[in-house]
Amino acid sequence: MEKIKLPKELYEKLELDETNQIEVTEISNDSFKIRSIRQTKAEGAAKWFLVPTFVASILFIVALVTLGINHVIPLSGNKSIATGIIVISNAIGMLSFIISYLLRRKELYHQMTSKVYWRTFLTVIISVFLIVTLALSAFFWFINQIFHGVAFDLTTAVVIYSIFTGIINYILLFVVDVFEISMLVNMLIMVSIGGVISSMASNGNQYWWQRNFSILGTSNSNASFQFNLTLILSAALMIGLFDYLFVAIRNKFGQHWRHIILQLLLSLAAGSIGMVGLIPNNGQGLAHIAHDVFAQLIVLFMGLAILGIRWFLPHVEKTIYYISYAIVGFLALSYYLWHFVHYFTLTAFEILSFSLSFAWIMLLINTLLQMVWNIKKVYQVELIDEKNEKTTSE
C-alpha cells in the first residue's frame, strides 16, 4: 500500500495512529478530500436497510389483514399503497434513522460539539421527517395524476410497497452515513422553500394572494398547519445552525462581542419567525397584535444584522457588504413601491422581502462556514519514492 506523509497537526486532527489509514477522494483535477478510515466503521445503508424494510413489509401485510383487504388495493387513497408507505414506511424509516443517528453521535462530535449535537438533535429529526413526508406526498400526488384509479392485486402491491420502503430506508441510512453539518443548510432550504411552496399549492384558495402572505397560516387556509410548522422548523434550524457556527467561530478565533451580538440578532430574528408560525393571524385580538409585533421584530433584527454586517464581520470578503447593502436598497425600494406608490400588492412585497432576506441568510451562512472550514495553510511538498525506501531498509 502506498504511503503518505502528513504534518503533525493534521495527523493529530484526524486522530490517527499507526493502525489507521486515510482515504483521499478526488473532487476535481486539482482538488482532493482527505478523511480518516476506521477499521471498525461500517457503512450502515448498504448493510442494514433490509432489516427495517422487512419489518415495515410485515406491518403492511398485517395492516391489510386487519383492514380486511383481500382482493385489490389502489395506488392512492385512504386505504392504499401510498398511505401505507407514507405512514408505516415513513415511521419505520425514521425510527431506523434516529437509531443510526444516535449510534454515530461520537463521530459527529468531530464536526460539532456534543452540546450542539443534542441541541440540534430534535430539529434534525423533525426536519428529516417533514422533508420525507412532503416528498412522498408530492410524489404520490404526481403519480396519481398520471395513473389515476390504478389498483393492484395483493402480491403486486406488497412487492411495490417493499421496493419503495427499501428505497426510503436506504436513503435515510445513507444520509446518516454521510451526514455533515452543511446538510443542515440543505435542510433549511428544503424545509423553508418546499414548505412554503406546498402551502401555496394546497391552501384551498387559488386567490389567497389577493390578501396577504400570512393568510397561508390562518384558519382560512387548508394548509395552515403545514405553513406554520414550516416557519417553526425553519426557525429551529436557523437557531441550530447559528449556534453551531458561532460556537465553532469562538473556538477558532476567540470570543468577540461583535460575533455575540450578531448571533443574538440572528437568533432573535429566527425566534420571531418561529413565533409568527406559532401565533397565526386569525382576525383580531391579542393573537393578531402579537403576530404583527413578531413580524415587525423580524424586520428590526434582520435590518440591524444586515446594516451592521461590516462591523460584525470586518475581515470577510467585501462582496458580502455590497450584496447586503444592495438587498437593503431593494427592500427599501419595494416598501416604497408598495406603501406609497401602491405598485406592489402586500403579498408581492412580502414574497419579495422573504426571498431577499432568505437569500441574505444563505449568503451569511456560507460566509460563516468559510470562516470555520475554509482555513488555508501552505505546506512544502515531498515526494515519497517507495522503491528507494525498500532498498534502504534492506
Query: Tens digits of per-residue pLDDT, 290-316?
Result: 877 888 888 889 889 999 999 999 888
Average pLDDT value for residue range 368-383 = 70
119/60 same-domain check:
yes
Confidence (pTM):
0.69
* Lowest mean pLDDT across 79-88, 233-242, 370-379: 370-379
125/190 same-domain check:
yes
Residues 6+ positions from 238 with CB-CB distance below 8 Å? 188, 266, 267, 269, 270, 273, 361
- Residue 67's domain comprises 44-373
28/56 same-domain check:
no
CA atoms 279, 282, 286, 288: torsion sign: positive
Is it the case that residue 98 has pLDDT exceeding 90? yes
pLDDT band at 217 (very low <50, low <70, confident <90, very high): low
Cell of 112: 460539532
Chain mean pLDDT for the chain: 79
340/281 same-domain check:
yes
Query: Quick check: is 207 in a domain?
Result: yes
The residues facing 280 across adjacent strands are: none
Rounded to whole angstroms, the Cα distance separating 307 from 15 reads: 42
Residues 6+ positions from 187 with CB-CB distance below 8 Å? 124, 127, 128, 131, 237
18/50 same-domain check:
no
Query: Quick check: is 142 in a domain?
Result: yes
pLDDT band at 356 (very low <50, low <70, confident <90, very high): confident
Task: Write the DSSP symbol of residue 326.
Answer: H
pLDDT of residue 185: 72
Distance of CA 208 to the CA centre of its chain: 28
| C-alpha triplet 316, 296, 236: angle, nearest 5° | 60
Residue in the structure block whose three cell numbers are 470586518: 314
86/233 same-domain check:
yes
28/54 same-domain check:
no
